C-alpha cells in the first residue's frame, strides 16, 4: 500500500516562495483565492490556528489583518521559512503533531486545515482535535480533494504531467475524501457544515496553457471557485454554540 510522501516539505527551503517548476507554486496560487475567502468570514479580531501551516501563506495574511495567529506543523524547515517570512513578527509557530496540539480546549475562534486532510492517514483525528480547540460557535475551515476519477486525473496525473519537479507520491488517491464523508466526520465532532465550494484552476486562461506546454507554473495562474465538488473543494463548518 502506497504511503503519502510528506518528506519533501523538509527540502523546499526558499522554493516555498520562489519555485515555478514545483507544485508548491500551485499552492501559492490557491492561497491567493482562498485566503481572502477565509478572512472575509472571520470577526474583526479573531484567534486563529492554522493546522499544517507550512511556510505560512495563510498565517501571514491573517496576521497582517490583525488576527492573533498560531501555526502548527511537523516540518521544522517549513516553520523556519514561515518565521523568516513573517513581516509582522506576531505569529506563533509550534512544531507538533496536529492531532495532539499542546493547546487548551475551547481557545480558538477559527481552526484551519487547508491542504492537510489528504496528507494524513487519520483525518478524523485532525477534525476531532480541531473541534476540541474551537470555542463554541467557532469555525473550522478545510480544503481537500474529492475521491473521484477526475481528481485522480487532474490532481495527481495532471500535476505530474504539467509541473516539472512534482515529488513522487505527493498525493495518494486513497487518501482523498468525498464531501459527504468529510461532512459526516465534522458532524460526528459537533461541527455543522455551512458551506462547500469547488476550487479549480482557471482552465480557459492563457497561464494554464503556458503551464501545460512549458511545465512551469506562471505567477499569474488563477484558481476560481466553482459549483462542482468533483476535484478540489473548500468548506467551513461551525461548532455548536453552548445552549
Phi-psi region of 52 (alpha: psi -120 to 50; beta: other; left: phi over 0): left
Q: How far apart are CA 53 and CA 74, in angstroms?
A: 9
Contact call for residues 35 and 41 (beta carbons, < 8 A):
no
Which pLDDT tens digit goes with each residue over 151-201?
A: 999 999 999 999 999 999 999 999 999 999 999 999 999 999 999 999 999
The residue among 241, 106, 215 whose CA lies nearest residue 162 is 215
Query: Is a pLDDT exceeding 70 seen at residue 232?
Result: yes
Which domain, by its residues, includes 192?
7-239
DSSP structure class, residue 214: H
**According to the model, what pLDDT value does residue 61 have?**
97
How large is the average pLDDT for residues 18-27?
A: 95
Cell of 102: 499542546
Is 19 domain-assigned?
A: yes
Assign residue 208 the CATH number of its domain: 3.40.50.150
**According to the model, what pLDDT value does residue 204 have?**
87
**According to the model, what pLDDT value does residue 242 have?**
73
Task: Tally the domains of the chain.
Answer: 1
Which pLDDT tens digit goes with each residue over 96-153?
A: 999 999 999 999 999 999 999 999 999 999 999 999 999 999 999 999 999 999 999 9
Angle at 25 between CA 21 and CA 30, to 5 degrees: 150
Band of the pLDDT at 241, cuts 50, 70, 90? confident
The pTM of the full predicted model, rounded to 2 decimals, is: 0.96
Q: Which residue has the cell 496536529?
A: 98
Band of the pLDDT at 1, cuts 50, 70, 90? confident
> What percent helix, strand, coil does the chain show, rounded to 5?
40, 25, 40
Cell of 194: 455551512
Band of the pLDDT at 233, cuts 50, 70, 90? very high
Is 1 domain-assigned?
A: no
How large is the average pLDDT for residues 214-236?
A: 96
Q: How far apart are CA 233 and CA 243, in angstroms?
A: 31
Cell of 237: 463548518
Is 2 domain-assigned?
A: no
Query: Is a pLDDT exceeding 60 seen at residue 227?
Result: yes
Which pLDDT tens digit goes with each residue over 30-79?
A: 999 999 999 999 998 999 999 999 999 999 999 999 999 999 999 999 99
Is 13 domain-assigned?
A: yes
Amino acid at each position: 500500500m502506497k504511503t503519502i510522501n510528506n518528506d519533501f516539505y523538509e527540502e523546499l527551503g526558499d522554493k516555498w516562495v520562489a519555485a515555478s517548476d514545483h507544485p508548491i507554486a500551485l499552492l501559492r496560487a490557491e492561497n491567493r483565492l482562498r485566503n481572502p475567502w477565509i478572512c472575509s468570514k472571520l470577526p474583526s479580531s479573531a484567534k486563529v490556528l492554522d493546522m499544517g501551516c507550512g511556510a505560512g501563506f495563510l498565517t501571514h495574511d491573517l496576521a497582517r489583518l490583525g488576527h492573533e495567529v498560531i501555526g502548527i506543523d511537523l516540518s521544522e524547515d517549513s516553520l523556519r521559512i514561515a518565521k523568516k517570512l513573517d513581516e509582522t513578527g506576531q505569529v506563533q509557530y509550534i512544531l507538533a503533531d496536529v492531532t495532539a496540539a499542546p493547546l487548551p480546549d475551547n481557545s480558538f475562534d477559527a481552526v484551519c486545515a487547508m491542504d492537510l486532510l489528504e496528507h494524513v492517514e487519520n483525518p478524523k483525528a485532525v477534525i476531532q482535535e480541531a473541534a476540541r480547540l474551537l470555542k463554541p460557535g467557532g469555525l473550522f475551515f478545510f480544503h481537500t480533494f474529492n475521491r473521484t476519477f477526475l481528481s485522480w486525473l487532474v490532481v495527481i496525473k495532471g500535476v505530474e504531467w504539467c509541473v516539472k519537479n512534482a515529488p513522487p507520491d505527493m498525493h495518494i488517491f486513497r487518501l482523498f475524501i468525498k464531501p459527504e464523508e468529510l461532512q459526516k466526520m465534522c458532524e460526528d465532532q459537533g461541527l455543522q457544515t455551512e458551506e462547500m465550494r469547488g476550487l479549480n484552476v482557471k482552465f480557459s486562461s492563457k497561464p494554464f496553457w503556458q503551464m501545460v506546454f512549458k511545465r512551469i507554473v506562471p505567477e499569474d495562474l488563477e484558481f476560481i471557485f466553482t459549483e462542482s465538488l468533483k476535484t478540489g473543494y473548500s468548506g467551513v463548518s461551525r461548532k455548536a454554540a453552548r445552549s
